[in-house]
C-alpha cells in the first residue's frame, strides 16, 4: 500500500509525520519500535516520515509497513529548518486504523469483498486488490451475547 497518509496544507512547504501508539510512544523508524520520545537522545529527525508535496495543497506519505496492526495517532509537523526538529510546528493530527498492510476504513469494509467461512463463521474483509485481508472477525453468539474479535 502507499499514500495512506494524506494532508491538506499550502503547497511549497516541507511536512512530515510522526506516528504514536495508544500509550503515546512514538515510532522510531530506524529501530522499528515504539519508544518514549527522546530515548537514546533521539529527536524528531529520528522519528519523521516524510510527506511529498503533490501541489494544490495536498501532501501524501506512506505508513510504515513495519508498524503492527492497530490504531494509531498520526501527527503532522511543518518543518522549519533543514531537518525535522523537536521545535517544529504541529499543524494537524488524525487517527489511522492499520491492518498491518493497509489502512482500514468503513468504506473499504462495506464496499470491498468480504468472505465468510461457513464452518467456522470467520469473516475476512479484503482490500481493493481482493487479496489483502484488512480485518478478520469470528462472530460467536450465546443466548444474549454476540462477540466480535478483530484480528
Which CATH number belongs to the domain containing residue 17 in this structure?
Answer: 2.60.40
Domain hosting 85: range is 5-98
The SS3 assignment for 109 reads: helix
Domain count, the chain: 2
Q: Rounded distance, CA 113 to CA 133, Å?
A: 10
Separation between Cα atoms, residue 84 and residue 16, nearest integer Å: 8
Over 80: is that where the pLDDT of 86 sits? yes
Q: What is the pLDDT of residue 3?
A: 85
Both 92 and 116 in one domain: the answer is no
Q: Which residues contact 151 (CB under 8 A, 6 or more apart)?
A: 69, 135, 136, 137
Mean of pLDDT values over 131-151: 71
Q: 6 - beta bridge partners?
A: 60
Same domain, 90 and 110: no
76 with 112, same domain: the answer is no
CA distance 123 to 94: 28
For residues 124 and 64, state if they share a domain: no
For residue range 98-115, what is the model confidence (pLDDT) as tens digits?
888 777 766 655 667 788
Tell me what pLDDT residue 57 has.
96
Q: C-alpha cell of 104?
A: 482500514
The residue out of 98, 117, 137 marking a domain boundary is: 98
At 81, the pLDDT band (50, 70, 90 cuts) reads: very high
Considering only residues 16 and 4, tell me which one the structure prediction assigns the higher pLDDT. Answer: 16
Residues recorded for the chain = 151
Amino acid at each position: 500500500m502507499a499514500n495512506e497518509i494524506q494532508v491538506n496544507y499550502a503547497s511549497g512547504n516541507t511536512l512530515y509525520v510522526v506516528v504514536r501508539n495508544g500509550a503515546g510512544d512514538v515510532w522510531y523508524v530506524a529501530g522499528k519500535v515504539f519508544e518514549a520520545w527522546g530515548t537514546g537522545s533521539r529527536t524528531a529527525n529520528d522519528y519523521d516520515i516524510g510527506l511529498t508535496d503533490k501541489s494544490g495543497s495536498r501532501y501524501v506519505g506512506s505508513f510504515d509497513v513495519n508498524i503492527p496492526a492497530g490504531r494509531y495517532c498520526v501527527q503532522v509537523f511543518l518543518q522549519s529548518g533543514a531537518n525535522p526538529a523537536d521545535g517544529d510546528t504541529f499543524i494537524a493530527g488524525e487517527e489511522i486504523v492499520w491492518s498491518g498492510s493497509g489502512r482500514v476504513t468503513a468504506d473499504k469494509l462495506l464496499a470491498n469483498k468480504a468472505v465468510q467461512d461457513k464452518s467456522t463463521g470467520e469473516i475476512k474483509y479484503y482490500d481493493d486488490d481482493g487479496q489483502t485481508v484488512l480485518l478478520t472477525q469470528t462472530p460467536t453468539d450465546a443466548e444474549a451475547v454476540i462477540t466480535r474479535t478483530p484480528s
